[in-house]
Structure 1
Amino acid sequence: YLARFLGAFGIDLKEARVVPDVEAEIIAAVNALRSRYDYVFTTGGIGPTHDDITAGAIAHAFEVPIDYNAEALALLASRYKGGELNDMRKRMARIPAGATLIHNSVSAAPGFQIENVFVMAGVPLIMHAMLENIAPRLRRGKPVHTRTLSTAVAEGRIAASLAAIQAAHPSVSIGSYPYFNENGVGVNVVVRGRNPQDVEAATDRIQEALMAQEIGSKPDDR
């Protein structure tokens, strides 16, 4: 979802990592990635439980203090009435100094942005809402257009054709992703590019190559 969302803004996803709930590893990953890329997006680890340590780790990565944020506390207080706003839920209002809140229309607990790092919830619905909130902050490039063709054939049978088509269409990226299921093997061929005409031209060539081998395929916009 995040890759598709960013692609619509012309932002390429360059790297994805799964980082355990270990503070030192979160710090190392964030510091390595924020110096390498324009944006870093994290999901998860900002909830109310003891193992939600992302906010504190981000603060340590930037070497800034972390404390209860007045605006975040007010948001939580508007949702949790009376004694419902307990100490554990208040943990969701701990925000590193200098960070800007990321609001969401689903729940009160905010994420936050500090420099080029966006820290969001791990719950998909809430993360989607947070992405909508940060959209105006992102610098836009040309959108990435994508076409996908699926074929029930082993990858090796079409590898040479794909290589030739890629060489003939350098402005697009052609990827092949094999799959295995109860019906046998197959390949999803994905064509990406910023010029929709170039993407369509390469897709047509791939479709022709598959049909020439009497391989059934079905184009699908993604």
Structure 2
Amino acid sequence: MSQDPPQDKTVTAALVVIGEEILSGRTQDTNTPYIAAYLSNVGINLREVRVVADLEPEIAETVNALRRRYTYVLTTGGIGPTHDDVTTDAIGMAFGVPVAVNDEAVAAMRLQYLPEDLTPARLRMARIPEGAALIHNAVSRAPGYMIENVIVMAGIPGVMQVMLDEVMPRLAKGRPVQSRSVLVRAPESEVASPLAALQETYADVQMGSYPFFEHGRYGAYLVLRSPDEARLDEALEALWRVIAEHGFTASAADDA
């Protein structure tokens, strides 16, 4: 009988976005905000995002640095059929394992392609590092894979999202992070000192200030985040007291 992965108080992750098209600005990266929100909702704390070029040594070096630091490393991009899709070879380099066409991956791709359509270029997408477990996807059938704590996914958003759904049950998770937002109609410089003092009191609640300017007035969104909902609400009550003490005009962000 299978069991769910254990829940841990702090589960961390890093994301490696791979591709010259991201670095050149030709393609807008929509995967990062999607993955960040997704991981937050399941209790995995995304701590770092790096964007690297399609260069095997750089990818391997980045993955090796991050996989020793975080619970999981997720990568997007570079596992397609073209010559510059080098992520799989870089992962093999990072782990010091060979890369070869995987029979299970080929069988999955046969659900999408006729035998004569499985060209050498398409079979590049069936090359998997030794020891990796496949991450199937129902969109294009070409799989991603997970090797130790590294999760390798496609860069195409629709395919990446399917892979993320498929791999998620295998991962350990912490408590989902909750958030509360308050809009303060005062310059951020005036809010900064009271907020810093409150942060010292509630060191376990993350507090952020995000300034804006609209209709000729300055303001700031104050965002509190914590996996402990009771502690979060306590900090929010304290924030409202601080706002009242300083005479700031404010409202819950959802009501603004």
TM interval, short-chain normalised:
0.7 to 0.9
Does residue 88 (structure 1) correspond to residue 121 (structure 2)? The answer is yes
Unaligned 5+ runs, structure 1: none
Q: Is the 8 A contact 1:210 1:217 kept in 2?
A: no
Q: Is the 8 A contact 2:179 2:224 kept in 1?
A: yes
Amino acid across the alignment from 1:12: N
Does residue 202 (structure 1) correspond to residue 202 (structure 2)? The answer is no
Instruction: Give the share of equivalent positions with the same residue, in percent.
Output: 46
Does residue 19 (structure 1) correspond to residue 60 (structure 2)? The answer is no
Equivalent-residue separation in structure 2 for 1:42 and 1:180 (angstroms): 36
Unaligned 5+ runs, structure 2: 1-33
Measured at CA, do residues 217 and 20 of structure 1 come closer, stay the same or move farther in structure 2, by a change above 3 Å? farther
> Deviation at 1:132?
1.2
Measured at CA, do residues 68 and 182 of structure 1 come closer, stay the same or move farther in structure 2, by a change above 3 Å? farther
Partner of 1:9: 42
1:188 equivalent among 221, 227, 230? 221
TM-score normalised by structure 1 residue count:
0.88
CA-based RMSD: 2.3
> Alignment partner of 2:80: what SS?
coil
Partner of 2:136: 103
TM-score normalised by structure 2 residue count:
0.77
> Deviation at 1:148?
2.9
Measured at CA, do residues 178 and 35 of structure 1 come closer, stay the same or move farther in structure 2, by a change above 3 Å? same
Q: Is the 8 A contact 2:52 2:59 kept in 1?
A: yes
Moved more, 59-68 or 101-110: 101-110
Partner of 1:32: 65
Equivalent-residue separation in structure 1 for 2:120 and 2:218 (angstroms): 52
Measured at CA, do residues 55 and 154 of structure 1 come closer, stay the same or move farther in structure 2, by a change above 3 Å? farther
Moved more, 64-73 or 9-18: 9-18
Q: Is the 8 A contact 2:57 2:90 kept in 1?
A: yes
Deviations 1:45-75 (A, max 9, x none): 1111221111110011111110111111111
Pairs within 5 Å for 1:149-188: 149-151=182-184, 153-179=186-212, 186-188=219-221
Does residue 114 (structure 1) correspond to residue 147 (structure 2)? The answer is yes
Q: Is the 8 A contact 1:207 1:217 kept in 2?
A: no
2:253 equivalent among 209, 219, 222? 219
Moved more, 8-17 or 210-219: 210-219
Q: Is the 8 A contact 1:10 1:141 kept in 2?
A: yes
Does residue 128 (structure 1) correspond to residue 161 (structure 2)? The answer is yes
Deviations 1:8-34 (A, max 9, x none): 332211211111111111011011111
> Deviation at 1:6?
2.0
Measured at CA, do residues 82 and 69 of structure 1 come closer, stay the same or move farther in structure 2, by a change above 3 Å? closer
Deviations 1:80-139 (A, max 9, x none): 225433221211111001100011233211100011100011122221211111111111
